[in-house]
Structure 1
Amino acid sequence: MHEVTSRKDRKPTRRFIIGKPASQPAHLQEVDLEALGAELAQRQEKIAAQTVDGAPAAPMAFKAMRDPDSQKIHTLQVELTDAHADELRTRHGEALIIEEDHDLEMFTLSPGIDAFEMSMARELSTQSDELKVTLKVVDENDTPLPKVQVDLAGDLWSDRQVTNTQGKVTLKLFGETLDSLTQLRLKPANGYWSRVIKAPSLAAQNNVVRLTALPVSLEGPQANMWGNETIGNVAMPQGERVRVAVIDSGFADGHPDVVAAGGRGFAEDGDPEEDWKTDDSGHGTHVTGTIGALNNAIGMRGVADKVDIFALRVFPGASISKLMAAIDTAIQLQVDIVNMSLGGPNPSTLLQQRMQAARQAGILLVAAAGNNAGPVMYPAAYPEVMAVAAIGKLGTFPEDSFHARHITPQVSADGTYFAAGFTCRGPEINVCGPGVAIISTVPGDAYVSNDGTSMASPHIAGVAAVLLAQNPQIQAMPRSDARSQSLFQAVLDAAHPLGLPADFEGSGLPLLTGNAPPMPQPGEGEIPSKPPMDGLDTVADLIQKALDAAKLIREQA
C-alpha cells in the first residue's frame, strides 16, 4: 500500500555529497559508508513509494560512488532535506563530510552570447514608436549566410534575431531612430569571424553586412592556428600513445578532423556508452580539437598529433558529483592527462580527495582558471591541479570582432601578448595558454573561434601530452604521484615568462621543441603551494629546508 501525502508536506531538498575525511578524527568512531549508504537508500525507497495527491512521488536521487581500484564507497550522492543533512552532521560530527553538490559551469565565452540590456519596458512604447530595420548578412562573395545571430541596440531598446535561409533578418526597436542606434553585433553559427559595428549607419531597408571567413575549412589546406604556432608545432615521437581524458560536454562523433578513442556519459537517465558521442553545446568538441585535431591535409591540427582522447560527458547539468564520477572513470581508463575546462567558486574537500586519488594514479590534472576576472575557480585552485590562465595575441583576429573586447593593458614584455580581460588570476596560476580567438572543431563538420580559459587549458593539456611522449622515462614510471608530478614539473620547466604579472601567467607560456626535455631529478618539483601558508606551515617549511640543506652539506663533505 502507498501512503498518501500532500505536496504541502514535502520539504524542499537539495543534492548533497557525503564522505569521510582523509584523516579520521581519533576521538570519533569511523563511519561505515556501506551501512550509511544502505540506510539512505532505504529511506529514498520509502519516499519513492509514497504518493502525492494520488500520483507517485518523484524518486529522490541516490548514488554510491566507489573507488575504481578497491571498489569501496568513497562518496554518497544523495538528495536530502536540510533537516536530514543537519541530523547526519549532529550524529557523526567531524567523522563525516557533508557538502552541497554544487553545479559547475563551462569556462567559455562564445562571441555575442551576452544580450543587450533593455532599459525601457515594451508597455511604455506604442506602435508609432517602433523602428523596423531589415538587413542581409553575406560573405565576401555575396553568398547569404543563414543562422547568424544579429543584435541591434539603441539608447533605449535592443532586439535579437537570427537570419533566415536567405541571410535576411528584421529587427524591431521601440523608442529608437536610425540616428540613436549604438551598436550592431553579428555572431555566425560557424565558419566566420564575429563582427561588431559601433554607431552603425543603417537605412530602414536593404542593409547589407559582410562577414569574413575563418582561415580554416574542410576543403584544405590545413591551416596553422596561432596557438599551435606559438607553442610549437612539434610532431610527437613514435611510441606508446598518450591517453587524454576530456571532461566536458561530450564529443561530436564523426567530425572528419578529430576522433575520440572512446568515452562515457554521466547523464542521470542516459546511456553512458552512447551519450558521450553527442555534444549539444559544441564546447567539448572544440576543446578536443585543440588538443588533438588530426594532422592531415584539411582543417587544423591539434597541439598533440598522436593521442587517444576519451570524452567524459558531464554537461548539461554538470555538478561536483558528476566531475568526481568522471575522475573515477579517468582513473579506471588509466589515462595520462585529464583536461577540465569547467569549474565553480565552491571548494569541496571530497572533490579534492578525488583529485588526490587521480594524482596517486599517475594522472596529470589540467584545469581552466575561470572566466569572471576574479579569483581562480575550483578545481583549478587545488594544488593538485595545474591551473591555466588565458592570454591573447595581438593581430590574430579582426579589430572589429568580439575578440577585441578582451584586450587589456597587461601586455607582455615584447608587446605581442596580452592577459585576457576575462581570465581569473591569482597565486594559484601555474601557467598561461592561448585563450582568445581560438579556432577549433565543432559539431556539424565545422569550425568556430571561441574565447575562454576553456580554450587555454586544452593547449596546456596538449603540451603535456607531447612532453610525456618526448620523455619515455616518465611514461615508464609506475603510476603514482611521482609520475604525475614529474610531468607537472616538465610542463613548468617548458614555461617561458612573458613579462606579465605572475598572477596572470604563473611560470609563463610552455613552449615545445623537437628535443626531449631533461628528466626531472629526484626531489625536484614538489607541487607548488598555491594558497598562502599559515604560520605553522611556514615554520615547518623552514625547518624542513634547513634539514635538507644540512643533509646536502654532509653528503658533499
Structure 2
Amino acid sequence: MRKQYVVLPAYGFRSQALAQAASLRSAVPMAVVAGGGATAVRSATTKVDVIDSVSEDGPKLVEMTPETELALRLEEPSLKIVPVVTYEKMRVMYEVKRQAAPAVFAATAQATSLRIEDTGGNPLADARVVAFTNFRTRAGDQGNTDANGTVRLRIASGTVLERLYVYGPPRYWGRFARSFALGAHASLQLEPIDLTQNLLSLRRFRRALPLTAGTGVVVGIVDTGIDKNHPLLSNVSGGANMVLDEIKNNPSAVDDWGPAYVDGEHGTHVAGIVGARSAGGIDIAGVAPGVTLRSYRVFPNAGGGATNYDIMSAIDRTVQDGCHIVNLSLGGGTEDEAVRAAIGSALDNGVLVVAAAGNDGRKPVSYPAALPFCVAVSAAGWTDSFPPTSSESSDIAKPSGSNLSFLGGFSNFGPQIDLTGPGVGVVSTLPGGTFGVMSGTSMASPALAGFAAYLLAANAPILALTGASRSAALKDKLFEAATPLGFGRDYEGFGLPG
C-alpha cells in the first residue's frame, strides 16, 4: 500500500541534496535486510512518485510504499522522511461523540424540540445546540436550529441533560446550562453582543493602543482563509490557497484564499483579532489595526484538517511574500519535523511565529506551539467579560489571577508556554460582514501576534534588523512587555503583554 511522505534535508529547510537526489528522480532500489545479519540485499526496484515540491532544493511531497521508504533512507542518508499528518483548528466547541444511552435515546419521530430565541422571544436560526446526557463520555445529541429557532434532539422528553451548550449565531452570545430538563415547550434565550461594553476581552487587552498600531508590518494568517470583502478587513492585501489537493490540477485555484466552504469562519475571526478596523457602525478593533494582513488557506474547502505539507508550504510562502509575523491557530498531537523545519527557516529569515498552545483541557502543549522557537500562547479570560449564562462560563477554571482573570479550562499548559492572551469569549469578525464570539487558544494566539506587530512597528531598530536577529529581538521585546497575572509559570509563561 502506497503512502504519502514529506522528504526534507536532514538539517535545515533547503538543500542541494534534495535537488540532486537521484532516488527522487528515478526508480529506487528496494533494500531487504538478510535474516541473519545486517547486510542489505538489493532486489527489485520500486518507484517514488514526487507529487509536489516547495522548490527544486526544498521539501517534497512523495508517494511510495513503506518498504520503499526504508530503502530511500539507505539510499539517501542526507534526507529526512516524515509521514503526512493533519492539524486542527484550535477553537473550542464541544461536540457529541456518541449516541445517548438507550434509556434516554428517542427515535427521530419522538425527538424533543428545543427553541432558541433572542431576549425579545424572536427565533434564532443557525444556533448550534449540543446536548450531553453524559459529558465525560461525550454522549448525547446535537444540531442547528432552523428558521423557527427550533432544533430536534433525539433525547426523550423529561430527560435531565448533564450539560447543554448553545453556540450563538453571529451577533449573539451562546448559552450554557447544567442539569437542564428537556420538556415539551423548552426554550432558551441568547443575549445580543453589546459592542459598547468596555470589558469585552479583546478591547480590554488592547486598551489604549493607537489605531495605527502595526503600521508597516505584514502579518500572515495560516488558517481557513479570510473574507476579503469584510468591511473591517480592508487591510487584507492578498494571499494564497495552499491546499495542494485543490491547486495541483487547477493552478488558478491558488487565488482562492478566502474562507473555506466548510467551517471557514475561523480564519476571518483570527484575522480580525490581529487587525480589524472599525467601520460601517461595527465598533471592533483588532490589536494592531495598522497592519497589512495576508491570508494563506491550508484548510480544505471540503472541511477536515490541514496537512503538514500544506502548512509547511504556507509558512515558506509567508517568508517569500515578506511577512514579518506568522500566526498559527492550529495544532496537533505529535511533533512534526516538516512543520518544525519550516518554522526554523522562517525564524532564520526574521519572521516571528506565534502559535496556539492547544485546547485539550490542561494536557501538554500541542505542536507546533511546543517547539522551543515558537511563541506558545495559552488562553486567559475575565469573568466579567461575558454574560454569566453564556457558553464561556463553563470554561471558568483555576488557576485564577488578578482582576478577575482565569486560565480557560480548555487551555493546555506546560513549560513550553511563553505568554497568555485573551482566549475566552473573544468577539471578532466573521464572514459576510458580521461578527461573533469564539473561544480557544486559537483566539489568544492572534492577539499576541497583533501585539508583536505593534511592538515591531514602534521599534525601528528591530524592524531594520534582518534574519534571525530580528525575530529573536522581537521575541525578547514581546516577553519584556508581559506582566504575570498570577497563574504560575507553566500556565502563563511571562504573562500577559500590555
TM-score bucket (shorter structure): 0.7 to 0.9
Name the CA distance, whole Å, in 1 between partners of 2:312 and 2:153: 45
- Counterpart of 1:120, as a letter, is A
Alignment partner, residue 407 of structure 1? 396
Aligned Cα RMSD in Å? 2.9
The 3-state SS of whatever aligns with 1:440 is strand
Name the CA distance, whole Å, in 1 between partners of 2:131 and 2:368: 38
- Counterpart of 1:13, as a letter, is R
Is 2:417 the counterpart of 1:429? yes
Quick one: which of 150, 163, 169 aligns to 1:168? 150
Distance change >3 Å, CA 147–CA 107, structure 1 → 2:
same
The 3-state SS of whatever aligns with 2:86 is coil
Name the CA distance, whole Å, in 2 between partners of 1:351 and 1:153: 36
Quick one: which of 78, 82, 90 aligns to 1:99? 82
- Whose RCO is larger (CA < 8 A, sep 6+)? 2
CA deviation string 1:85-134 (max 9, x = no partner): 011112233x2211112111111113xx4116434359x9787x985433
Is 2:294 the counterpart of 1:310? yes
Alignment partner, residue 326 of structure 1? 314
Distance change >3 Å, CA 229–CA 350, structure 1 → 2:
same
CA deviation string 1:294-318 (max 9, x = no partner): 0344241100010100001111341
CA deviation after TM superposition for structure 1 residue 163, in Å: 2.1
Name the CA distance, whole Å, in 2 between partners of 1:77 and 1:162: 38
Name the CA distance, whole Å, in 1 between partners of 2:346 and 2:288: 22
- Counterpart of 1:386, as a letter, is V
Which one is further off, 479-488 or 182-191? 182-191
Distance change >3 Å, CA 40–CA 61, structure 1 → 2:
closer
CA deviation after TM superposition for structure 1 residue 448, in Å: 2.1
Is 2:240 the counterpart of 1:261? no
Name the CA distance, whole Å, in 1 between partners of 2:419 and 2:451: 11
CA deviation string 1:284-335 (max 9, x = no partner): 1110000011034424110001010000111134121111111111111111
Quick one: which of 70, 78, 96 aligns to 1:86? 70
Name the CA distance, whole Å, in 1 between partners of 2:484 and 2:342: 31
CA deviation after TM superposition for structure 1 residue 501, in Å: 1.3
Alignment partner, residue 95 of structure 2? 114
Task: Say whether the 8 Å CA contact 1:341–1:455 is kept in structure 2.
Answer: yes
Name the CA distance, whole Å, in 2 between partners of 1:125 and 1:494: 53
The 3-state SS of whatever aligns with 1:291 is helix
Task: Say whether the 8 Å CA contact 1:237–1:470 is kept in structure 2.
Answer: no
Alignment partner, residue 483 of structure 2? 496
CA deviation after TM superposition for structure 1 residue 23, in Å: 7.9
Larger of the two Rg values belongs to structure = 1
CA deviation after TM superposition for structure 1 residue 215, in Å: 1.8
Would you tell me which structure has more strand in proportion to its own residues? 2
Which one is further off, 207-216 or 481-490? 207-216
Task: Say whether the 8 Å CA contact 1:265–1:312 is kept in structure 2.
Answer: yes
Alignment partner, residue 54 of structure 1? none
Is 2:272 the counterpart of 1:293? no
Distance change >3 Å, CA 17–CA 237, structure 1 → 2:
same
Which one is further off, 326-335 or 151-160? 151-160
The 3-state SS of whatever aligns with 1:254 is coil
Distance change >3 Å, CA 399–CA 92, structure 1 → 2:
same
CA deviation after TM superposition for structure 1 residue 148, in Å: 2.0
CA deviation after TM superposition for structure 1 residue 442, in Å: 1.3
The structure 1 segments of at least 4 consecutive aligned residues displaced by more than 6 Å after TM superposition are: 124-127, 221-224
Quick one: which of 41, 47, 61 aligns to 1:77? 61
Is 2:173 the counterpart of 1:193? yes
Alignment of 1:264-283 (within 5 A): 264-267=240-243, 268-270=245-247, 271-280=252-261, 281=263, 282-283=265-266
Alignment of 1:521-540 (within 5 A): none
- Counterpart of 2:191, as a letter, is T
Quick one: which of 28, 32, 36 aligns to 2:17? 32
Q: TM-score, normalised by structure 2?
A: 0.85
- Counterpart of 1:144, as a letter, is P
Aligned residues: 461
Distance change >3 Å, CA 422–CA 321, structure 1 → 2:
same
Distance change >3 Å, CA 222–CA 302, structure 1 → 2:
farther
Distance change >3 Å, CA 131–CA 237, structure 1 → 2:
closer
CA deviation after TM superposition for structure 1 residue 184, in Å: 3.8
- Counterpart of 2:485, as a letter, is L
**Unmatched segments (≥5 aa) in structure 2:** 29-47
Task: Say whether the 8 Å CA contact 2:115–2:150 is kept in structure 1.
Answer: yes
Distance change >3 Å, CA 41–CA 441, structure 1 → 2:
farther
CA deviation after TM superposition for structure 1 residue 483, in Å: 1.1
Task: Say whether the 8 Å CA contact 1:223–1:299 is kept in structure 2.
Answer: no
CA deviation after TM superposition for structure 1 residue 179, in Å: 5.6
Task: Say whether the 8 Å CA contact 1:187–1:195 is kept in structure 2.
Answer: yes
Which one is further off, 418-427 or 454-463? 418-427
**Unmatched segments (≥5 aa) in structure 1:** 1-11, 25-29, 45-58, 67-71, 512-557
Percent identity between matched residues is 31
Distance change >3 Å, CA 287–CA 211, structure 1 → 2:
same
The 3-state SS of whatever aligns with 2:120 is coil
Alignment partner, residue 368 of structure 1? 356
CA deviation after TM superposition for structure 1 residue 379, in Å: 1.8
Name the CA distance, whole Å, in 2 between partners of 1:446 and 1:239: 23
Name the CA distance, whole Å, in 1 between partners of 2:12 and 2:320: 24
CA deviation string 1:404-431 (max 9, x = no partner): 222222011x352111222121111111
The 3-state SS of whatever aligns with 2:142 is strand
Alignment partner, residue 368 of structure 2? 379
The 3-state SS of whatever aligns with 1:104 is strand
Name the CA distance, whole Å, in 1 between partners of 2:123 and 2:51: 51
Task: Say whether the 8 Å CA contact 1:279–1:285 is kept in structure 2.
Answer: no
Task: Say whether the 8 Å CA contact 1:251–1:276 is kept in structure 2.
Answer: yes
- Counterpart of 2:190, as a letter, is L
Alignment partner, residue 216 of structure 2? 241
